[in-house]
Amino acid sequence: MKRILNWLGKPWLHFLVIGYALWRGGLWLYPPEPPVVGPLSEARIEALRSQWVSLARRAPGPEQMERLIAAELDRDMLYQEALSRDFHLYDTVVEQRLIRNMKFLRLDDGRDDEILYREAMKLELHLGDEVIKRRLQQLMETVLLAQASITPISEQELTALFEEKKEALRVPARYSFQHIYLPDERESEAAALLQKISQNGLEPEAARQFSAPFLPGLSFRGHSLEQVARNFGWDFSTALGELEPRERLWQGPVESVYGSHLIWIEKYVADRDAELSEVRDRLEREISEERRRNALAAEIDALREHYEVRR
């Protein structure tokens, strides 16, 4: 006890305690200013607007513009946070990008890559490079996701989502068919040709002699109507779906963007409800992606509390 009292009586200990108390008090009375993000320049706001127009083919409304600006400020915040954590000092992608930039600017002078990298850092070339900026943003997102708590997917959740989306998950009808192609200048032949090959009982191999060449081919196996539309256009696909799916009989003519077609359906498989086993991976990805988005958004919200974001 006496030894403890002797220690407590030391002037240097009093000095340390008082200094620490003053330091903590100063932090409480005068907290450090948070780092500032924004505001965006008019040029960057206009660039966001132009990017939206090029993708959506229309001007963004006020609310959409606010969301675009908020997202851009969040990206700036992630970039600034990554810099503050020195991610740029330890990432090989950043290193190789800076070395490449030095060589592109012809600042290498025969020096080795290590020297070029150090010189690039002295010149702060990483601060003006959009590729490095995106890389650091991605690294920061990865770190935030790694520290987030993402709940595992339960079987009950998977089953519930499957039941909710059962109609959208239906397996579409499948068509295996062959056709005779008649371009526009031979459209008038279609009805007579259909009668001829039907009366003679010609199957596709024998009837193929009457077809004009068709680049995608004359035979298709197990295609949905959506897949059919990629080769023939939606008018043809819709008309095929409206045909009575009678197998091994010639039908038509069916019009496409290219001309007329006589159709021989080899096999038709009707649409049906999907089994959970068939779409399990798809549903798991959907749930996982949504949870990752929500978790990242929550982590960004928490990080934003440590910044002053200026609109």
pLDDT tens digits for range 270-304? 999 999 999 999 999 999 999 999 999 999 999 99
pLDDT in the model for residue 27: 44
Write out the two tokens for 47: 């660039």
Cα four-point dihedral sign 23, 25, 29, 35? positive
The 3-state DSSP class for residue 68 equals helix
* DSSP bridge pairs for 178: 219, 264
Write out the two tokens for 241: 């779906």
Domain 174-269, CATH: 3.10.50.40
* DSSP bridge pairs for 269: 174
pLDDT in the model for residue 254: 94
Neighbours of 190 (CB within 10 A): 19
* Domain positions in the chain: 42-147+303-309, 155-167+274-298, 174-269
pLDDT in the model for residue 38: 85
Split the chain (311 residues) into runs of 10 and give each run's mean pLDDT: 54 54 49 82 93 91 94 96 94 94 84 90 91 96 92 93 93 95 92 93 93 94 95 94 90 93 94 94 94 95 93 81
Judge whether 237 and 226 are in contact, CB under 8 Å: yes
End-to-end alpha-carbon separation of the chain, Å? 60
Contacts of 165 (CB under 8 A, 6+ apart): 283
Residues 296 and 280: their CA atoms lie apart, in Å, by 24
- With 0-12 CB in 10 A as exposed, 13-18 as middle and 19+ as buried, what is 276? middle
Residues 247 and 265: their CA atoms lie apart, in Å, by 5
Residues 7 and 199: their CA atoms lie apart, in Å, by 115
pLDDT in the model for residue 23: 46
Q: Give the residue ranges of DSSP H helices in the chain.
A: 2-8, 11-29, 42-56, 62-84, 92-104, 113-122, 130-147, 155-164, 190-199, 204-207, 225-232, 234-242, 276-304
pLDDT in the model for residue 11: 62
Write out the two tokens for 310: 């200026």
